[in-house]
Structure 1
Amino acid sequence: MSQNHTDVNSISLQAEAEPRHFGQRLDQVVADLFPEYSRSKLKTWIQAGKLVVDGEIINTPRQKINGHELIELNAELEVQLTSKPQNISLKIVYEDEHILVINKPADMVVHPGAGNQDGTLLNALLAHVPNIDKVPRAGIVHRLDKDTTGLMVVAKTIPAQTHLVEQLQQRSMSREYEALAMGTMVAGGVVDAPIGRHATKRTHMAVRETGKPAITHYRVIEKFRAYTHVRLKLETGRTHQIRVHMAYIMHPLVGDITYGGRPKLPKGASEEFVETLRQFKRQALHAVQLSLHHPETEEWMTWQAPLPQDMVKLINAVRHDTALNPLDDY
C-alpha cells in the first residue's frame, strides 16, 4: 500500500515493502513500488540521501531488503533546463494536467541546438506550461524533424513522461504519417533495416548493419505518374527513420534534399507544376495520427491532424500533372 503526494516542486512517496521483495536490492524494490519514476531518477534520489527505510536514511542502491520495511522518499524536483521560456504560439490539439498534444508547424525546431538556441518547441513549452522545467527535456518524449509537420505528445509531469517513454520502448504508442514519395510505388510493404549514424556525414543517418533495429510499414494511398502518396506507420522511432527508409527503397520523399537529392522532373511537366515543386522547400512528411494510452487513466486515445495546406497544394499539383499526361506509363 503506497501513499503519494506531489506538487509542482516536490514529491513525497511512501510504501511498504512486500514479502516478495525479500533479498532484492533497494533500487529494484523502489522501482517496483514507484513505477511512475524512471529507475535512473530513483537511483539518483537514493544516492542523494532522499530515501528513508524504517526511519533511517539509506543512500546505497545495493542495500538488500527483507520485505517488510516502510520506505519513504522525499525529494525536491530540481530545474532540469537552462533554456529560456519564449511566448511562441502553439497549435494545441489536446491538453490536460498530464499531457499536451500539439500540431507542430514546419520550420520549428524541437530542441535547442547549434544555430537554434531560440524559437524552439522547448522554449515555447517553458512559457506555456509552468514548472515543466522540472521535467527532463521539458517533457518532450519523441521528436519531429524541423521541417516535418504534425502531431507530438508532451508530458507535463515526470510520471507522465516515464509512462510515455515506456510506451515508446514497448512499441505500444502508434504514430502514423502521410508523405509524398518520388517514383510510382506498386504496392505497400515493410522496410526492416537497421539505422545508424552515417559513416562520414555526421548529421546524417543511414541503413547500416551495425545500426539499431528500425521497422517502417507503408501503404499506397494514391499513385501518380512520377510520385506516390503514401501512409506510413512507425514500429520503431529512429532519427530520420522514414526519410532514410524511403530513400533506401529508392523512393525518397519529395523535397528531402538530404536523403533524396534534387528531384528529377517528369517529362512534359508544366511551368506551373515545376514552380510548385520549387516552392516546396521541405520534405513532404506529416504526422497525421497519434494514438496512445493516457498515462493517468490508461484510456486509449487517438488524435488526427489533417494534411497542412502546403502538402495539399503539392498533392493537388501532382494529381493535375498526372491528368495532363494520361499516356505516361505509370
Structure 2
Amino acid sequence: MSTAHEKIQLQANVPENLFGKRLDQALAEMFPDYSRSRIKEWILADYVKVDGQILNRPREKLLGEELIEIDAQIEMQVQHKGQDIDLNIVFEDEHILVINKPMNLVVHPGAGNSDGTVLNALLNHAPEIVNVPRAGIVHRLDKDTTGLMVVAKTIPAQTHLVEQLQAREISREYEAVVVGTMVAGGTVDEPIGRHPTKRTSMAVRESGKPAMTHYRVKEKFRAHTYIRLKLESGRTHQIRVHMSHLRYPLVGDQAYGGRPRPPKACNENMVNMLRMFRRQALHAIQLELTHPVTGEWLSWQAPLPKDFVELLEVLREDKSEHGSGEV
C-alpha cells in the first residue's frame, strides 16, 4: 500500500453577504468546489487560518472581511494499481470522462474482484485520478449492465457531480427487455433496502431508501417487452429490483427471477437465445448532465451492445412468425 497526497491551497476574504455566518457555512459557500464535510475536516485538522491565526472551531462566527487561508493536504491510501484494460471512452477533457462500460466488467474492486475493474483501468489511463476519492467514480453499473458512466478526474469536478446526482439533476436513461408482456408504461415508487435473507441482493422494503423508476413500453413481443427507463434515484440494483417487484423481471437476471421462459411453439433459435442470455438485459443508453466546470449541458448516447441487438432480432422474428398475441 502506498500513500498519495494532493496539496490544496486556497485564499479569499470573507464577502459582505457572509458576515455573521459560521466558519464552516461561510467556507462552504466561498469554496463550492469542496464539500461541506471536507471543509469541516480541514477546520478540525488546523488547516484553516483566519487573519493569520489557526481557527479550528467550525461554529465560530465571522465578523466580515477576514482573510481566509486554507493550506490542506488530502492523503489517500492507494490500495489498487493501474491495469492496462481497454476503456471505451465516449468523452474526455481535463475534468471528466464518460465511458461506455462493457458487460462482465466490475466497476470497483471488492470481494471476489480484487482487480481487473473499471477503477484499475482508470488508474492506468489517468494516473492523477488516484488523488480523487474512489478514483472519481460517482455512480456505478452492475458487472453485467452495459452503458454510460461519468467519472470525475478532479475533486472539484467530483464534488459538483455528486451534488447534481443528489439533486437528481443528472439524467440517466436505460433500455431493457423484461419477461412478460406489459400493457403500458408507468412509475415504480417503492423503497429499496438490503434483502432480509440474501446478503448480496436487494429488495423492496418499507425500511429501505426512497427509490423511483419511470418506464415506458417501446415494443411488445409474444412473451417479452422492450422498455425504456429513467431513474429518479440510484439505489443498488434499482431497475432490476423494481421490475422484479412488478413481476416483469429482466431477461437473463438470474438473481431477480429472469429465468428463461420461451413462448409456446417458438423455434429452437429462440429457445437457445433465451437460455444462453446469461446477464440481465439492461443497457445505460443515455446520460445527460451539466458539465461541473463549464456549466455546459451535455448529452451522450451509447448504441445497444451486440448481444442485446441479437436478442431483439430473435424476439421480432418470433413475433413475425406467430403474431403478436401474448402466450
Question: What is the TM-score normalised by the length of structure 2?
Answer: 0.96
State the match for 1:54 in structure 2: 51
The residue type equivalent to 1:248 in the other structure is: H
State the match for 2:62 in structure 1: 65
Name the SS for the 1:29 alignment partner.
helix
After TM superposition, the structure 1 stretch with the greater mean CA deviation from structure 2, 62-71 or 96-105, is 62-71
Q: How many aligned residue pairs are there?
A: 323
Distance 1:329 1:150 in 2: 30
Matched, 1:100 2:67: no
Shift of 1:194: 0.9
Matched, 1:316 2:313: yes
Question: Where does 1:1-330 land on structure 2 (aligned, <5 Å)?
Answer: 9-326=6-323, 328-329=325-326
Q: Contact 2:222 / 2:324 at 8 angstroms: preserved in 1?
A: no
Distance 2:240 2:78 in 1: 30
Structure 2: 5+ residue stretches without partners: none
Q: Contact 2:139 / 2:149 at 8 angstroms: preserved in 1?
A: yes
The residue type equivalent to 2:35 in the other structure is: S
Distance 1:216 1:259 in 2: 17
Q: Contact 1:81 / 1:137 at 8 angstroms: preserved in 2?
A: no
Shift of 1:139: 0.3
Q: Contact 1:220 / 1:230 at 8 angstroms: preserved in 2?
A: yes
Across the aligned residues of Structure 1 and Structure 2, the Cα RMSD in angstroms comes to 1.4
Aligned residues with identical type, % of pairs: 65
Distance 2:303 2:128 in 1: 31
Shift of 1:292: 0.1
- Flag the 1:108–1:19 CA change in 2: closer, same or farther, 3 A: same
Structure 1: 5+ residue stretches without partners: 1-7
Q: Deviations over 1:203-238 (max 9, x none)?
A: 111111111111111111111010000000001111
Question: What is the TM-score normalised by the length of structure 1?
Answer: 0.95
Shift of 1:327: 6.9
Q: Contact 1:110 / 1:122 at 8 angstroms: preserved in 2?
A: yes
Q: Contact 1:19 / 1:66 at 8 angstroms: preserved in 2?
A: no
Shift of 1:80: 4.6
Q: Contact 1:12 / 1:73 at 8 angstroms: preserved in 2?
A: yes
The residue type equivalent to 1:259 in the other structure is: Y
The residue type equivalent to 2:24 in the other structure is: D
